[in-house]
Chain A
Amino acid sequence: MSAYTDQDPRLHGIKTQIRVVPNFPKSGIMFQDITTLLLDPKAFKDTIDLFVERYKGKNISVVAGIEARGFIFGPPIALAIGAKFVPLRKPKKLPGKVISQEYILEYGRDCLEMHVGAVEAGERAIVVDDLIATGGTLGAAMDLLERVGAEVVECACVIELPELKGRERLNGKPLYVLVEYFDI
């Protein structure tokens, strides 16, 4: 589901503040830069508000955010809905005992980690990142949470690249995004 199709009036301001940087990190990629959104206090606040309005009062006790841009959007949402914030990180960053989930990249593999004990079985969680592309990272994040018995209620991203079909790789879990970008 995309908030954009519902046309909340705040979405236009959010979409126009996202900067597209061509050929980063490599040729052919149109990189969606959210740092310009963060420079507009109203648009940044509206972004957070849209997620908070959706998730407040839904008994969500965990907001998991994917390093590093998920760390920008996840904590304000967590604070506003009264949930804990759980950082999901690249290997060897978290200092305590962790569980790891490997996932496939275009070339090769990567790994995401979560602290043991951060999340309890039965907790209701959302996973937050700035953007969903192929869905590999979000899929690994969901796996981590489900392995410890949490219920992933939804994945939430500011931006979706629908042509990469990441939505289909979320094991049937719903995805909520604010804006879509089509590389036409």
Chain B
Amino acid sequence: MASKDSKDQDPRIAKISSAIRIIPDFPKPGIMFQDITTLLLDTKAFKDTIDLFVERYRDQNISVVAGVEARGFIFGPPIALAIGAKFVPMRKPKKLPGEVISEEYSLEYGTDKIEMHVGAVQPGERALVIDDLIATGGTLCAAIKLLERVGVNVVECACVIELPELKGREKLGGKSLFILVEGEGA
């Protein structure tokens, strides 16, 4: 798998990249699935992954780390804890028990929705949105909208992996995207 920017390449990135496993034809034929579970088995590479995000965000006055269910729940909390921010889970419908706001987004066929608890974030807070991977950008776009609807300033989206061919970066409403490694799309 290619790494993002060879000339700037932090020496930790090569090991992170090689720790990610590609599973062909999952969940359906033609898709090369980027499996981060193997990264989580490499204690140094997992720590390096978190450190790279923490180093970038720790002095940016970020008070909210929003993580998209479920793999965003793995990377978001360690970052939030290290930078002293709250962690806000963004979930599929009917999982969050309290009052929620929802944002619908398009899938290849049909639509889906993500939800956030009312009151989790306050207007004016500075937030990051975290997920393991950005593909088409639909989920991240919905997450940004949810936060902006309640007056939050989304500073950046951060993912471990980007699939650049799917151009998700262009769907983030002008928000910047920070990633560690690039992978091939479908």
A interface residues, Cβ below 8 angstroms from B: 19, 21, 24-25, 31, 33, 35, 38-41, 44-45, 48, 67-69, 71-73, 75-76, 78-79, 82-87, 89, 92-96, 115, 118
Contacts and interface: CB of A to CB of B under 8 A. Distances in A.
Q: Is chain A's interface secondary structure helix, strand, loop, or mixed overall?
A: mixed
A89 B77 CA distance: 18
B107 interface: no
A82 B47 CA distance: 9
A21 B97 contact: yes
A72 B46 contact: no
Given A31-B97, A40-B86, A76-B81, 15 more contacts: A35-B88, A38-B87, A38-B89, A39-B88, A41-B80, A41-B85, A71-B71, A75-B77, A84-B40, A84-B41, A87-B37, A92-B27, A95-B23, A95-B35, A115-B37
Contacts of A87: 37, 40, 74
Contacts of B23: 95-96
| Contact count band on B | 35 or more
A16 B179 CA distance: 37
Contacts of A21: 97-98
Nearest to A47: B81
B78 A68 contact: no
Contact of B87 (A72, A93, A95): A72
B86 A85 contact: no
A79 B47 contact: yes
A183 B120 CA distance: 26
A118 B26 CA distance: 19
Interface of B: 21, 23, 26-27, 33, 35, 37, 40-43, 46-47, 50, 69-71, 73-75, 77-78, 80-81, 84-89, 91, 94-98, 117, 120
A77 B52 CA distance: 18
B73 A33 contact: no
A94 B36 CA distance: 10
A94 B26 CA distance: 9
Contacts of A95: 23, 26-27, 33, 35
Nearest to A63: B40
A26 B88 CA distance: 24
29 contacts: A31-B97, A33-B98, A38-B77, A38-B80, A38-B86, A38-B87, A40-B86, A44-B81, A71-B71, A71-B74, A72-B87, A72-B89, A75-B75, A76-B77, A76-B81, A78-B43, A79-B46, A79-B47, A84-B42, A84-B43, A85-B40, A85-B46, A86-B40, A86-B41, A87-B37, A87-B74, A95-B23, A96-B35, A118-B37
A39 B70 contact: no
Contact of B40 (A75, A92, A93, A96): A75
Contacts of B50: 79
A44 B64 CA distance: 13
B41 A35 contact: no
A19 B46 contact: no
Contacts of A48: 81
Contact of B78 (A31, A76, A82): A76
Contacts of A72: 73, 77, 87, 89
A24 B41 CA distance: 35
A138 to B, nearest CB: 18
Contacts of A86: 37, 40-41
